[in-house]
Chains A and B, each alone.
Chain A
């Protein structure tokens, strides 16, 4: 079952999830999952690696790696993006370096 972290919850540490994860709270640390959905109140400091999809509607400070990245209109993103597919909605506040790749690896982290 996918995980849900609501906005009354703070996590400090690294997360690994083989399923989907929905975040509306504060996370400080690295996130690895199949799919990451960040809601409006979500605030993440750390790198996010998702196999399939990242949907960001909250604040992210850190690098994003995914097949498909969708930045919603409420997104505030600062960091590097690696993706095959990028969607940015009107209103997203960005301070990013973005690169489209055929294969997503964590290489630019090192």
Chain B
């Protein structure tokens, strides 16, 4: 199979993990690369790139860099880029940093918000500086 060819190259994984249509899983997934889900998953998913296929159902919290939802997703998504296909169904909040793409026909109910982590940090440091300044002044 395709993953046997890269045995010498131990740190790099070519291709992606695939969880088939009849795959049922209850628990936590932690993937450092790419993963494709066509089955039913109950639990939190962490991945670099996550693709939920049309037959896929994920119930839980998703944290990733790229998320593509073509199937069902129940729970919050926190990702840099989110793509929702025309048959995608979302029940939960979407938090993204860079891009959100929603195709015509997608079914979403939940909050959609663009996060900017830098901004939060900056306001924190400003607050600290202000407090420090107050200390010195007093």
Residues of A in contact with B (beta carbons under 8 Å apart): 1-19, 21-22, 24-25, 29, 39-40
Partner of B13, one of A6, A11, A21: A6
- How distant is A33 from chain B, measured CB to nearest CB, in Å? 9
**Most chain A CB inside 10 Å of its own CB: which residue of B21, B23, B31, B33:** B23
Give A8 to B17 CA distance when docked, in angstroms: 9
* Shortest CB distance A36–B (Å): 13
Q: Does B39 contact A (CB under 8 A)?
A: yes
B24-A6 in contact (CB<8A): no
| Of the residues B24, B27, B32, B39, contact of A11 by C-beta under 8 Å | B27
B29 touches A10 (CB 8 A): yes
Contact A14:B25 (CB < 8 A) given known A3-B39, A6-B16: yes
**A47 CB → nearest B CB, Å:** 15
* B24 and A17 contact, CB distance less than 8 A: yes
Q: Is the CB of A14 within 8 A of B27?
A: yes
Is there an interface contact between B27 and A9, defined as CB atoms closer than 8 Å?
A: no
Q: Is B126 an interface residue (CB 8 A)?
A: no
Set of chain A residues within 8 Å of B26, measured between Cβ atoms: 13-14
B residues within 8 A CB of A4?
1, 3, 15, 17-18
The smallest C-beta distance from A62 to any residue of chain B, in angstroms, reads 15
Q: Flag whether B92 is at the interface (Cβ < 8 A).
A: no
Interface residues of B (CB under 8 A from A): 1, 3-4, 7, 13, 15-33, 35, 38-39, 43
Q: Inside 8 A of B28's CB, which chain A residues have their CB?
A: 11-13
Residue of B at shortest CB range from A5?
B17
Closest B residue to A40 using CB positions: B7
| Interface residue from B15, B17, B27 paired with A25 (Cβ < 8 Å) | B17
Contacts of B18 on A, CB cut-off 8 Å? 1, 3-4
21 contacts between A and B (CB under 8 A): A1-B20, A1-B21, A1-B38, A2-B20, A4-B1, A4-B18, A5-B17, A6-B33, A8-B13, A9-B32, A9-B35, A10-B31, A11-B27, A12-B29, A15-B25, A16-B25, A17-B20, A17-B24, A18-B22, A19-B23, A39-B3
Given contacts A11-B29, A24-B3, 10 further A-B contacts (CB under 8 A): A4-B15, A6-B3, A8-B33, A9-B32, A9-B35, A10-B31, A15-B25, A16-B25, A29-B27, A40-B7
